[in-house]
Amino acid sequence: MTAVLEIRGLTVSLPEDGDREFAIEDVSLSVEPGEIVCVVGESGSGKSVTAFTVMGLLDPRALTPVAGSVRLEGEDLLTLPDKRLRALRGERMSMIFQEPMTALNPVVRVGAQIAEMLEIHTRLSPTERRARVLAALADVQLPEPERLADCYPHQLSGGQRQRIMIAMALALEPALLIADEPTTALDVTTQARILQLIKDLQSSRGMGVLFITHDFGVVAEIADRVVVMQDGRVVEQGTVAEVLHAPSHPYTRLLIDAVPSMTPPERAEATGEEALSTAGLDKRFGTAGLFGGGRVVQAAKDISLTLRRGETLGIVGESGSGKSTVARCIMRLVDPTSGEILINGTDIAGMKQGSLRNLRHQIQIVFQDPYRSLNPRRTVGKSIVEGPMNFGVAEDEAWRRARELIEIVGLSADTLDRFPHQFSGGQRQRICIARALAMEPVILIADEAVSALDVSVQAQVLRLLDDVRRKFSLAMLFITHDLRVAAQICDRIMVMQHGKLVEQGPTAAVYANPSEQYTRDLLAAAPGQSRLPD
């Protein structure tokens, strides 16, 4: 039996000004029929380049395969004429992408987009095409295929859109499905269902799947075999059991160890003084229209919380649950509709911006996206001293403190003169933490602060956050969608859904005995629990 996909010694060159000579070097891997092969690696490891080479989707001006072969059911894709390659795409191999919203055409009904595939590759009549489209939608377990086929992508949820993508990819029953981080943009519970779907379809059709991911939890959930990539090379491959339980390469071990455990460690109860509390915090977006036609979204409803110095309170929930809204209300980056926000006993919920300014230094935030959190036109040092100087700290004193802090967050003092683009994502996040600390805050809010980072970097930044919390006895509000991360860093946990507080309690207690169904669903959806070593 020939392999569905056989990559041998594949090398793809980077343009001359790239940071290394080859995007991927001497990559060999194979996918057998009925097998899911996961390619894991951090950003820049070349895993996506590998997938795009197979599909022939590389930008020929930037990336060119210079050696090796890619055989799809025996045919070498690198030497095929374009016409044959176009026929193979869709018919024998197809691909699904990370962001289903951008991968679908927003102005064409989803049914028509699937039908287009059939129109190009088959000679079916319009009625037969329609029937095939509906069957394809039913195969990906979408309810009411008749109605959904006539929807535009923006009318569907993220999970539904990804199902549409899968339906489209599988409409012609290809031998190979390439999935490039297909669940990364989805909520955990949706992710769990999509992973199950891919697995079911793969086993019922016996196709090969090349699954690109950065998440070892997903690997543990879905893979038959694993290929680990680092800096454009394959460092290890083997069956999932071998790689997960007896990794031979130190990098693999590093990646696996970096996945936070779902079991919260023992934590002493925080006894510091109360730094922050909210009562009955409400936030509604939108206004009721003049004739009652307006749309109001209740983003946060009746949120009451307390946070002590030296304590980390986690707010977990899926996208749209209102967890970030709560953080932004507490920061007063948005104005709460009603309720109280007490910082050291002062209510800031309705305070005017002028008097609020004097309290700003007490509460600081670290954002999710390290690439947008620093002004690209200002040096790192200037970004750090801006805050203290707003509060009248003398310039040389502010710089002295900046040098001290930048070393606390693990960078050297001479980095202060550089611009943000000279740093990696993890380093930038350290700089943002230093900027927040420069204000000598009492409360630090981390809004998905580690979510955009690679796992190995994520673990370091988490450790840093925990260190500074202890060192400066900060009250930390930690907002995340990632239950593994929350388990490791939070003393207490609040679970939010649809703007409401569903459950709260000490982390260990909530993880061990969730009292609400939604919490149980969330915990069960975290990928890879059964197979990942703790």
Partner 1 sequence: MTGAEGNQGQPGIAGLLISHRGVFWGGLVLIAIILLAVFGPLITADPVAINPMNRLKPPGIEGLFGTDMLGRDVFSRVLNGARVSLTVGTAVALISVLVGLTLGLIAGYVRALDAVIMRVMDGLMSIPAILLAIAMISLAGATLTTVVVAIVIPEIPRVVRLVRSVVLTVREEPYVEAAIASGTRTLQIMVRHILPNTIAPLIVQATYICGSAMLLEAILGFLGAGIPPEIPSWGNIMSEGRTFFQLTPWIIFFPGLALALTVLAVNFVGDGLRDTLDPRIARTM
For residues 167 and 117, the answer to whether their CB atoms sit within 8 Å is: no
State the binding string over 375-414 for partner 1 (x if CB under 8 A, else -): x-xx----x--xx--xx-----------------------
Residue among 113, 183, 252, 373 that touches partner 1 (CB under 8 A): 373
311-to-443, 450, 507 alpha-carbon distances in Å:
10, 18, 12
**Per CB under 8 A, 360 contacts partner 1:** yes
Residue among 33, 34, 44, 320 that touches partner 1 (CB under 8 A): 44
In terms of DSSP bridges, do strands 5-13 and 64-72 run parallel, antiparallel, or are they unpaired? antiparallel
Candidates 1-9, 16-24, 233-241, 509-517 — which segment interacts with partner 1 by CB under 8 A?
A: 16-24
Q: Considering beta carbons, is residue 13 or 383 the nearer one to partner 1? A: 383
Give 389-445 as a DSSP string: HHTT--HHHHHHHHHHHHHHTT--GGGGGS-GGGS-HHHHHHHHHHHHHHT--SEEE
Residue among 157, 422, 513, 515 that touches partner 1 (CB under 8 A): 422
**Per CB under 8 A, 435 contacts partner 1:** yes
Residue among 17, 266, 396, 534 that touches partner 1 (CB under 8 A): 17
Candidates 194-202, 244-252, 366-374, 459-467 — which segment interacts with partner 1 by CB under 8 A?
A: 366-374
**Per CB under 8 A, 352 contacts partner 1:** no
The amino acid sitting at 169 is: A
CB of 358 to partner 1, least distance (A): 8
Q: Considering beta carbons, is residue 259 or 445 the nearer one to partner 1? A: 445
In terms of DSSP bridges, do strands 443-447 and 274-285 run parallel, antiparallel, or are they unpaired? unpaired
State the binding string over 305-344 for partner 1 (x if CB under 8 A, else -): --------------------------x-x-----------
| Strands, sheet with 75-76, edge to edge from the N-terminal-most edge strand | 22-31, 5-13, 64-72, 75-76
Q: Considering beta carbons, is residue 56 or 387 the nearer one to partner 1? A: 387
**Per CB under 8 A, 363 contacts partner 1:** yes
CB of 324 to partner 1, least distance (A): 12
User: Which of 376, 400, 374, 377 is closest to 388 using CA atoms?
Assistant: 400
31 burial level (CB within 10 Å; 0-12, 13-18, 19+): buried
Q: Which two tokens stand for residue 71?
A: 């055989």
CB of 189 to partner 1, least distance (A): 27
Q: Helices 126-139 and 110-121 meet at what angle, rounded to 10?
A: 120
Site for partner 1 in 153-192 (CB under 8 A): none
The total of other beta-carbon atoms located within 10 Å of residue 258's CB is 17
3-state SS of the chain: helix, strand, coil percent to 5?
Answer: 40, 25, 35
The two most distant CA atoms of the chain are separated, in Å, by: 77
Residue among 199, 361, 403, 531 that touches partner 1 (CB under 8 A): 361
CB of 437 to partner 1, least distance (A): 11
Site for partner 1 in 443-502 (CB under 8 A): 457
What does the DSSP 8-state code read for residue 79? G
Q: Which two tokens stand for residue 202?
A: 């793969």
Q: How many residues bind partner 1 (CB under 8 A)?
A: 37
Q: How far is 468 from 407, CA to CA, in rounded Å?
A: 12
For residues 363 and 307, the answer to whether their CB atoms sit within 8 Å is: no
Candidates 169-177, 232-240, 267-275, 416-424 — which segment interacts with partner 1 by CB under 8 A?
A: 416-424
Residue among 207, 316, 374, 487 that touches partner 1 (CB under 8 A): 374
Q: Considering beta carbons, is residue 367 or 511 the nearer one to partner 1? A: 367
For residues 160 and 111, the answer to whether their CB atoms sit within 8 Å is: no
What does the DSSP 8-state code read for residue 502? E
Residue among 162, 252, 427, 507 that touches partner 1 (CB under 8 A): 427
Q: Considering beta carbons, is residue 7 or 444 the nearer one to partner 1? A: 444
Q: Considering beta carbons, is residue 61 or 377 the nearer one to partner 1? A: 377
Interacting residues with partner 1 (CB under 8 A): 17, 19-20, 44, 331, 333, 357-358, 360-361, 363-365, 367-369, 372-375, 377-378, 383, 386-387, 390-391, 421-424, 426-427, 432, 435, 439, 457
